[in-house]
Each structure stands twice: as C-alpha cells, then as structure tokens.
Amino acid sequence: MPSAVFLIHLDENHGFILKKRHPISLKVTEADLNNIYVPHAEKAGLHVIELDDTQILSYSKNKMPEWVVCFEMEADDDISFESSRLEGTARLLLELAETSIDDIDLEEIMKSGSSLSEESAEQKFAGVFLTPSAPLILEHLQSAEISGFVSSAALSMWLKKQVGGEGTNVAEAIRPLITSGLVKMEMLTKTKQFVFLVKDVFGHRASPNDSLKLAEMTRPDIYEEYKEQVENFFGADSSGRGYNPTIMEEEEMQTMIEDREKVAVNVANIIHYNVITALRKGPMTLDEIIIQTAFPKSIVQKALWALKSNSIVTSFEEESIWALLTDPVFESFMPKYVLEGISKKWNTKEADSAEVQMYLDLLINTWRTTS
Amino acid sequence: MIRGIYILGEQNNILYSKEYAKSDARATLIEFLVNLSQFLKSVDIEKTEYMNLSVSRLFYSKRGNFTFISLADKADEPSQIEEKTDQLIDIFMKDYANLALAGQPLDDFGDKVDEIAVTMVKVAILGFAGVGKTTTLHLLRGETLPLVHDPTIGVSIKKLPEEVQSANIVLWDLAGQARFSILWSKMIANAQVVILVTDSTLENVLRSKKLVALVKEEVPNAQVIGIANKQDLPTALTPERVGQILGVPTYELVAIDISYRDRLVQLIRRAILEGKTSDKS
C-alpha cells in the first residue's frame, strides 16, 4: 500500500505543479519532480524510480503527456505485485484530472481501491466517431466505389480534397480506425501501401432488454414504469428517441448521426462507460453502482446526471433507483457487402490479383481469429 | 497568468479577443463562451465571478450590453484576476464601448489589455551542457555563484527578483545534457523570450544552430537572444561571429562577471518590447 500519492502537472508557464497530494504534509522538491518526469517525457506508461531511499511508482499516458500520477511506496511493498492495481488507480486519477480535478479525493480513492480497466473494444469502436476524419474515411471505405480497399496515396489525396487542407495527415486521421482494429494498413510492395477495411462497426442505442428482464424479477415496484419509459423512448411517435436501427427513417439520418456521436462520447468516456456497464446488470441504487464501479460517490452521481441528460439512463423514486433507458452499443461485423465490389474491381482490372489476394487473406484471418 | 481576454456583444458575438497562450481547443472554448454569455443574460450578477474550467479558471462579468471574460490559470490568485478584469472593464466602458457599439475598430485597446493582462513573461534559457546557462540564471538573479558545478536536472524554474515592463519574469533554465534533449521542445512551449547560450567556441556554436531551428519550430513568435558567453577566454569567437553563425542577434557575456547583469536585463526588456511590437504588426 503506497504511503503517499500525488499528481504532477507540468504547466507551460508555472512549471511543475503538485495538483493533488495525500497526505497534505507531503513535500516534493523540484529535483524530485524533474527526476520523476524525465522518464515519462521519453516514454509514457509505468516507471519506477529511486529517490534517496524511497521508491516512486509513476504513471502517465500519451494522451495527457503533461500529467504524471505518483505513488510513494512503502519499503516492504512488492512493486511487481502492486503495479497493475495501481496502474488502474492512476488511470482513474488521470481521467478525473482531465474532467473534474476538484472532485478528486485521493484519500477516498486510495481507501476504496478504485481503478479503471483498459479501454474495451466497444470503447475503441466508439472512439472512431469522436473525430470528424475517421468516420469520413470509414464511410469512404464502405462505399461501392472503393469496396473496402484503397491505396494510402489515393486515400490521402481524397481526404485532402474532402477537408480542403494541405496539412492533412492521413496517418493521424486513420489512427482511431487502426487502433480499434476496423482497418489495417499494409505494404503490398516496397512502395505501395494499402488501407483495408476488415471490420465494420454498428453504433446505436439498443433497447435495454436484459435490464428490463432483471427489473421484472428483482424490482417489480418500478418495472411497469420502467417498461413504459423504454417503450415511450423507442415508440414510433416519440420525438425524443435516439438512433434506433429498427425504426430508421431516411429523413432522420442526420439526427441519427448526431445522436450516434453523442452516444459515442459517453461510451468513450471511461467513467460513464463503467457506470453503463454496471447498469447493464439491471436497475440499481446509487450505493449499488458505487460498489459495482468502486468510484467515489460524487463522480458516480455526476456521471449519472450526464447520462440522464443524454437519455442513456433514467431514474425512479426521486433518483433513488437508476436504470438504462437505452443501451449504447458499438459492435463490429464482417463487411460482407465488399465481396461483390472486390470481384468487380478484379474483373475490370481496377485491382490486381495481389491486392485482392491480400484483402481476402486479411478478411479471412481477422474473422477466423474472431470466431 | 491571464491566458485570454474576451469581450462579447449584445448578440453574444466576439467583439474583442486576445490570447496569451496557445490552445488546441479554441473553437470549443469560444462556443462555450458564446453560450455562457447567452446564459448570463438571464441571470443577475453584480460583480466579477468565476468558475473552474478544467485546469483553468474563467472570470466573467456583465456591464451594459457586454460580457467580459478572462481565462486564467487556477494557480493565479482569484482576487488579482478579478481586479485586473475590473480594470479592463472600466477602461473599455469609458473609452471603447461606443466604438464597439458602432462597429468601429478598437484602436489601441490591445495595448491597454497588454498593460493589464501581461503579468508574467516566460524566458527560457537554452543551450548545450556546460555553456553557462545556470551561471547566467544566477547572474540574472544576482546570486553568488556555487563553487562546485552541479549539472541541472530537467529544468530549474526561478523568478527574476525585479519586474520588467510591469511583468514578472519567470526564468526556465533547461538542462543541457543530451539525455534531457527530449524535454526541450516541451519546456520552451509558450516562452516569449529564449536566451540561447553558447560558450563561444566554434564547435559549440555550430552545434547550437540546431537549437535555433528548434526554437523557430516550437515558438516561432518568441524573441531569441543569442549569448556569446565566456568572452574572457582567449579562444572565444566574437559575438558578431557567433551571431553570424547562429543567425540571431547575439551579445557578449561573461556570466561570472556581475557587471554584465544590467546589460542582460536590458536585453530581456528590449526583447519583451520587440515581442509586443511584432505581435501588433
């Protein structure tokens, strides 16, 4: 168990600032801050350094290079044993530092052992819809004209035309698609690089059927009201409904795309996502959600309010019970629709056999492994 | 420090804005400010208030048809920022409100904003190991030199004892050893002035050209002061020659000689003034 925990922020005007510390009596010198920070400037992740007779376990992530979470370890702590648990706690602290640093209660978090797991596949899929370029590229790869594969050079030219910028970086724009495993970038020859769509993704609000079933069994007191709220949301005459594939209408496409972005933001937010995951197990009280997520009360409460305003959760009995109103789902599927296009491209000599062979191999390997 | 000043009009349009630090999320911030201004129309606020916004603090006030917003660091003392925001409001309402209402340019309002808002100037001291950066820092602070050379680790941040052009000068002395080179681009971010120290040897000056390129890349708007240090050594290149090689205005220095202190402070003062002039143009 660490004897102290602190958060360092490198401010470009004020230098190193100890944003949070526990215990409050903790003192860290400028030299210590430098010694802790330097390895993180080289490589984000977990580092252990010796400061005088004390071992410091520190964690940073690429997305927030100016922040480092540090744990001062006790002499008898087994760092290799503690590191994975503390990495999860550090992940949570960084997430909170980004969203609501004032809510961080280090003592409470350390006592409860709160932590965050790594990003799930679902979150990585949601991450695709957080930038404007990645969904644009995805849509391009899905089109009949492209049929799932295109040279990097052609894609780069197309993207520049779309966004009208010389500084467009296709590698940067495509990164969320690669990280989520939807797209692969492969060298066909020494000079020819191709982009292949190996998975497609479907993001939508699903009806929380499992949660409803559980409510019927475990919370009969709210079941009828819960069922009615869900039916109203997904009902044909409801103006408040979100992106529901079962009732898709042409003229609502824009609203649905906007709603998908809104849902993606919530799924990509690791705290909101943990609350959603907890509520997939059925309606719960605030205390039950706190136990499930191991997050501090104030953080869970804020997440619930934000999710409620986005029609993802609902509440009953003056917010004493919470449940999913809609279940935000991001799931991948095999883009079978490209097969016809691949065949057409090969027949019309738009693509040569090496390109087609590589694409089919990638599809087979991706889906054989997945199944 | 104040990072940005924004004045919004009756239609929640931005009438005036000035930013003192780069932001990746400017568009989001502006959208938020427009919404905030809209919201403030529906509530009564009698004085400047503030809210926390991520790592910053947003000070807002209403006067007539205008909404005034200052974005500052959380590390700043709120009462000081409130006072500065109030000063800006008074000046604007007295001399510029009518111009703004008539859609006219606000002339020299930017200068007034600078006088009030620029309370801190970041000066980075950059150079390879052993050229005398920390000695230069000690010289600027009027400190006695340590007898033993103790290489800087990472960065050492200290304030200049006196204000220059009504601003506090924060000196960032960056470690020069190769293993710390990864920090340089991060640490010079947002510097208004960069002091590039060389030891006036040909080898070091030629190597230091790389640092000039780094500075131009990372902080293109910063004023660069080349320093030909160790001019007391017989092998030292002249400051003119060092300046020719580096391609930046360069000045002689013997950092261990206290008599150079005032000259160096003057150079910083001039660089700050030149920075303001080039901002305007």
Q: Is the dihedral of CA B36, B38, B42, B45 positive or negative?
A: positive
Structure tokens at A203: 């993001």
pLDDT tens, residue by residue, B154-171: 999 999 998 887 788 999
Do A37 and B154 lie within an 8 Å CB cutoff?
yes
Residues B29, B82, single domain; the answer is yes
The confidence score (pLDDT) of residue B52 equals 84
pLDDT at A252: 53
User: For the domain bounded by A202-331, which CATH number is listed?
Assistant: 1.10.10.10
Residue of A nearest to B169 (CA): A13
Closest CA–CA distance from residue B190 to any residue of chain A (Å): 6
- The answer, for A172 touching chain B at a CB cutoff of 8 Å, is no
Q: Looking at the structure, do residues B196 and B211 belong to the same domain, yes or no?
A: yes
Low pLDDT (below 50) residues in chain B:
none
**Residue A51 near chain B (CB below 8 Å):** no
Specify whether B67 is located in the same domain as B145.
Answer: no
Whether B14 and B41 map to the same domain: the answer is: yes
| Residue A268, pLDDT above cutoff 80 | yes
Identify the CATH number of the domain in which residue B226 sits: 3.40.50.300
Q: Are residues B129 and B251 in the same domain?
A: yes
Q: Tell me, what DSSP letter sits at residue A74?
A: P
B127/B258 same-domain check = yes
3-state SS of chain B?
CEEEEEEECCCCCEEEEEECCCCCCHHHHHHHHHHHHHHHCCCCCCCCEEEEECCEEEEEEEECCEEEEEEEECCCCHHHHHHHHHHHHHHHHHHHHHHHHCCCCCCCHHHHHHHHHCCEEEEEEECCCCCCHHHHHHHHHCCCCCCCCCCCCCEEEEECCCCECCEEEEEEEECCCHHHHHHHHHHCCCCCEEEEEECCCHHHHHHHHHHHHHHHHHCCCCEEEEEECCCCCCCCCCHHHHHHHHCCCEEECCCCCHHHHHHHHHHHHHHHHHHHHHHHC
Tens digit of pLDDT for each residue in A144-164? 888 999 999 999 889 988 877
Residue A48 reports pLDDT greater than 90: yes
B243 and B169 in a common domain: yes
Whether the pLDDT of residue A301 is over 60: the answer is yes
Across the interface, whether the CB atoms of B21 and A42 are under 8 A apart is answered: no
pLDDT tops 80 at residue A280: yes
| Inter-chain residue contact A65 with B156, CB threshold 8 Å | no
Reported as a pLDDT band with limits 50, 70 and 90, residue A12 is confident
Contacts with B122 from chain A: Cβ below 8 Å: 12-13
Q: Do B175 and B154 have their domain in common?
A: yes
Interface of B with A in 40-99 (CB under 8 A): 52, 54-55, 73, 75
| pLDDT tens sequence across A60-99 | 998 899 999 999 998 878 888 888 889 999 998 998 888 7
Q: What is the pLDDT of residue B208?
A: 96
Asked whether the domain spanning A202-331 has the same topology as the one spanning A122-199+334-370, the reply is: yes
Nearest-by-Cβ selection for B186 from A14, A33, A41: A41
Q: Which among A13, A37, A102 has CB closest to B73?
A: A13
Q: Which of B117, B147, B165 is the last residue of a domain?
A: B117
User: What pLDDT score was predicted for residue A166?
Assistant: 62
Domain count, chain B: 2
Question: Domain end: B80, B99, B117, which one?
Answer: B117
Contact present, B87 and B95 (Cβ < 8 Å): no
pLDDT bin (cut points 50, 70, 90) of residue A100 is confident
What confidence score (pLDDT) does residue A265 get? 93
Which among B117, B150, B165 is the end of a domain? B117
ipTM of the complex: 0.72
User: Which pLDDT tens digit goes with each residue over B1-60?
Assistant: 788 899 999 888 889 988 877 666 788 888 899 999 989 888 888 889 998 887 788 999
The answer as to CATH 3.60.21.10 being correct for domain A122-199+334-370 is no
Q: Give the pLDDT confidence of A180-201 residue by residue, as tens digits.
A: 999 999 998 888 899 999 999 9
Q: How far is A37 from chain B (nearest CA, A)?
A: 8
Mean pLDDT computed over A207-217: 93
Find the residue in A nearest to B121 (Cα). Answer: A13
Q: Does B186 touch chain A (CB under 8 A)?
A: yes
pLDDT averaged over every residue in chain A: 88
A62 in B contact zone (CB under 8 Å): no
Q: CB–CB of A12 and B189 under 8 A? A: yes
My answer on whether B264 and B154 are in the same domain is yes
pLDDT of residue A190: 85
Q: Considering CB atoms only, which of A9, A11, A38 is closest to B183?
A: A38
B163 and B268 assigned to the same domain: yes
- Non-local CB neighbours of B204 within 8 Å, separated by 6+ positions: B128, B131, B198
Where in the sequence is the domain holding B256, given as residue range(s)?
120-280
Q: What is the domain partition of chain A in residue ranges?
A: 4-112, 122-199+334-370, 202-331
Same domain? For B91 and B184 the reply is no
Answer yes or no: CATH 1.10.10 is held by domain A4-112: no
- The verdict on B195 and B61 lying in the same domain is no
Q: For residue range A333-359, what is the model confidence (pLDDT) as tens digits?
A: 999 999 999 999 889 888 888 999 999
- Contact list, B73 vs chain A (CB under 8 Å): 11, 13-14
Q: Is the CB of A101 inside 8 Å of chain B's CB atoms?
A: yes
Cα–Cα distance between B153 and B144 in angstroms, integer? Answer: 20
Give the pLDDT confidence score for residue B280 in this predicted structure: 55
Contacts of A9 in chain B (CB under 8 A): 55
